[in-house]
Chain A
């Protein structure tokens, strides 16, 4: 700015002089514009997380927590075989749910994007996918219970059709029912971003591939799949983080027989063991962040959007 002032041409000096009063504003404006979001993030994201981190070092007994700096919450957490088993179990749910929702999501999106010619029908069918989301996810989950139960619709149907003699016990309150509910709940989170990515693919590329002699499978593998990666990555982030943090689905669908990290934290909170829950939450946050970073390493969402 001072350089401008030193330039010999009087007109510029005059302009600079006139600009002096509002000069502060343009410099501050971006900060002001970013301020609401910054304040919101500070208040509702950073402060709570820092509090959780701080509390995770506190001590506690059965009714109260004491400000302190102890590592027992972390040592108890990380040395307990239950923690490892629970993490493994949660990761298993996450992996299974991810793989299945990816398969379903990709297929549905592919069908919508490349097999439905008219935009109207695409939208109609897309909205059809979202219909289950019009009800609460707890309802969607619970409605599986009478369906899959020992005397439920499915078992009675199969028995009366003569396909089985004994009701299938594994259908409810098992890993099967947990993953089934997860897939049902979260498949749309995979469909939407993949569909979005596919719609952005230039159809000329596919024509070019076909003209170049590529088979349908080759086009899918070498053209569509690489171009859909950002959508897959976004969908994966949704599904994985949702499953990692879940507690109610696991509790209801496993009949309280399986553990997940979210459930572990919920149990600790309900027993007033806030510091232990906080330590658990910090570890979970770290694990999920690592998983997200790893996914972003594989796919550069920004570059491909």
Chain B
């Protein structure tokens, strides 16, 4: 897989690095407009031989991105999509098997301390200043509150080039360059629930007995469970993203009682399962992911990604570079990351209902109508198309939850990995087995 790597060609007397510094700045802009010319011939040929192996969760491992990379940057991007548990595993246990890790921030908290990745120099990231501040300071606007859980900025930086210790405030060394994020909530079947849903606690409403579902990925499921218990007023949390043993016990006790009472129809683990449960009517209220809601709707079945008064559970992912990467490949990786933030991918992700890290550049690649629908929460002026060109929403539709500010500004907690992780997993398994 990696035998295509070419040693750097320094025979021209110009170091590749200086060469790159010059071109990188142009590249960002040039890539945006799709015009890739003017690369020095030698470098352009060298980089064509580079293959970067990226692996990560399915959400952003898109073939369209790999194709566009080939077209715009000339090198090959191989993508492998795995579920989040497998990603964590592989990131730690097979660090040589990938060049670029596309992981979530809570996975980063587990993986980065293992010393398998290298931080990125933000001075080489062209659009660093334009990255949404959630990932830098933790605050969407200067006066917004920092959400609980593994907030991306808490694991976004390390203290130095070779450090594996997360820095308390932004430094020059970034662990992950944010790429994709979203605010999750409950999905409902408005035609079957029969009443307005406004709170997380509605998941355990006896009226939906045998028709509710929860996702069975412990680190995410526990957060949804915590949102429910907090909304019920049964448990008070110090930090939902880092619960004490006692809080874990209380939370899962409530969930276990509900399970024994027959509240849940099923627990799902994969995207397709959640779509099938919802579209078949087995389940009418459940934890869900945004594209799954879109998939149910695409079948012509009503489904709403219901905003709830307690706020959203957010998640975010980013690209990190494997420790073993150096030389031309490392430069190619930076090149790729700069390209990622330069707008085309951002627009692609925004059109799927996710959010991209640098909004300004993404905006340039979207039509004003698309931007108004996806980002500003306005009724669609025209039909809204998916990146593949299928109609996702008819003209007049409004995005569930509204604008970017309304959704990302109301994040209650981030997906997290807790200090009591091991205990929580054991208790979660007891809950599932109960």
Q: B-contacting residues of A (Cβ < 8 Å)?
A: 61-64, 76, 80-82, 85-86, 89, 145-146, 149-152, 169, 172-173, 251, 254-259, 264, 267, 270-273
15 contacts between A and B (CB under 8 A): A62-B422, A63-B110, A63-B114, A81-B430, A82-B430, A86-B433, A151-B281, A255-B213, A255-B277, A256-B432, A259-B432, A264-B429, A267-B429, A270-B83, A273-B422
Please measure, in the bound complex, the distance between the C-alpha atom of A254 and the C-alpha atom of B267, giving whole angstroms. 9
Contact assessment for A270 and B86 in the assembled complex, using a CB-CB cutoff below 8 Å: yes
Contact assessment for A255 and B421 in the assembled complex, using a CB-CB cutoff below 8 Å: no
Q: A-contacting residues of B (Cβ < 8 Å)?
A: 83, 85-86, 88-89, 92-93, 110-111, 113-114, 210, 213, 216, 218, 259, 264-269, 276-277, 280-282, 417, 421-422, 425-426, 429-430, 432-434
Residues of B within 8 A of A85 (CB): 433-434
Please measure, in the bound complex, the distance between the C-alpha atom of A64 and the C-alpha atom of B111, giving whole angstroms. 10
Contact assessment for A169 and B210 in the assembled complex, using a CB-CB cutoff below 8 Å: yes
Residues of B within 8 A of A272 (CB): 85, 88-89, 92-93
Smallest CB-CB A-B distances: 3 pairs: A255-B266, A256-B267, A259-B433
Q: Given A173-B282, A255-B265, are A82 and B429 also a contact pair (CB < 8 Å)?
A: yes
Contact assessment for B218 and A271 in the assembled complex, using a CB-CB cutoff below 8 Å: yes
Contact assessment for B429 and A62 in the assembled complex, using a CB-CB cutoff below 8 Å: no
**Which A residue's beta carbon lies closest to that of B218?**
A271
Please measure, in the bound complex, the distance between the C-alpha atom of A82 and the C-alpha atom of B113, giving whole angstroms. 32
Q: Given A257-B259, A257-B267, are A172 and B433 also a contact pair (CB < 8 Å)?
A: no
Please measure, in the bound complex, the distance between the C-alpha atom of A265 and the C-alpha atom of B110, giving whole angstroms. 21
- Please tell me which one of the listed residues B280, B426, B429 contacts residue A146 in the complex, with CB atoms under 8 A apart: B280
Contact assessment for B282 and A270 in the assembled complex, using a CB-CB cutoff below 8 Å: no
Residues of A within 8 A of B85 (CB): 270-272
Shortest CB-to-CB span from A10 to chain B, Å, is 69
**12 new A-B pairs (CB below 8 Å) besides A62-B422, A271-B425, A272-B88?**
A62-B110, A63-B88, A63-B92, A63-B114, A64-B114, A82-B430, A149-B281, A150-B280, A255-B266, A270-B83, A270-B85, A272-B89
Q: Given A255-B266, A264-B429, are A62 and B417 also a contact pair (CB < 8 Å)?
A: yes
**Which A residue's beta carbon lies closest to that of B259?**
A257
Please measure, in the bound complex, the distance between the C-alpha atom of A58 and the C-alpha atom of B282, giving whole angstroms. 43
**Which A residue's beta carbon lies closest to that of B433?**
A259
Residues of A within 8 A of B216 (CB): 256
Q: Majority SS of interface residues in chain A?
A: loop
Residues of B within 8 A of A61 (CB): 422
Contact assessment for A173 and B266 in the assembled complex, using a CB-CB cutoff below 8 Å: yes
Please measure, in the bound complex, the distance between the C-alpha atom of A257 and the C-alpha atom of B431, giving whole angstroms. 9
Please measure, in the bound complex, the distance between the C-alpha atom of A256 and the C-alpha atom of B264, giving whole angstroms. 10
- Please tell me which one of the listed residues A82, A173, A251 contacts residue B265 in the complex, with CB atoms under 8 A apart: A173
**Which A residue's beta carbon lies closest to that of B281?**
A151
Contact assessment for B111 and A63 in the assembled complex, using a CB-CB cutoff below 8 Å: yes
Residues of A within 8 A of B282 (CB): 149-151, 172-173, 255
Shortest CB-to-CB span from A283 to chain B, Å, is 16
Contact assessment for B88 and A256 in the assembled complex, using a CB-CB cutoff below 8 Å: no
Shortest CB-to-CB span from B387 to chain A, Å, is 29
Please measure, in the bound complex, the distance between the C-alpha atom of A81 and the C-alpha atom of B431, giving whole angstroms. 12
Residues of A within 8 A of B86 (CB): 270
Residues of B within 8 A of A76 (CB): 426
Please measure, in the bound complex, the distance between the C-alpha atom of A80 and the C-alpha atom of B433, giving whole angstroms. 12
Contact assessment for A256 and B111 in the assembled complex, using a CB-CB cutoff below 8 Å: no
Please measure, in the bound complex, the distance between the C-alpha atom of A299 and the C-alpha atom of B327, giving whole angstroms. 67
Residues of B within 8 A of A89 (CB): 433
Residues of B within 8 A of A86 (CB): 433
**Which B residue's beta carbon lies closest to that of A258?**
B433
Shortest CB-to-CB span from A68 to chain B, Å, is 16
Residues of A within 8 A of B110 (CB): 62-63
Contact assessment for B421 and A62 in the assembled complex, using a CB-CB cutoff below 8 Å: yes
Please measure, in the bound complex, the distance between the C-alpha atom of A66 and the C-alpha atom of B277, giving whole angstroms. 40
Residues of A within 8 A of B218 (CB): 271
Shortest CB-to-CB span from A55 to chain B, Å, is 13
Interface centre among B93, B281, B433, B434 (most CB of A within 10 A): B433
Shortest CB-to-CB span from B266 to chain A, Å, is 3
- Please tell me which one of the listed residues B259, B266, B277, B433 contacts residue A82 in the complex, with CB atoms under 8 A apart: B433
Shortest CB-to-CB span from B106 to chain A, Å, is 11
Residues of A within 8 A of B264 (CB): 255, 257
Contact assessment for B280 and A149 in the assembled complex, using a CB-CB cutoff below 8 Å: yes
Residues of B within 8 A of A80 (CB): 426, 430
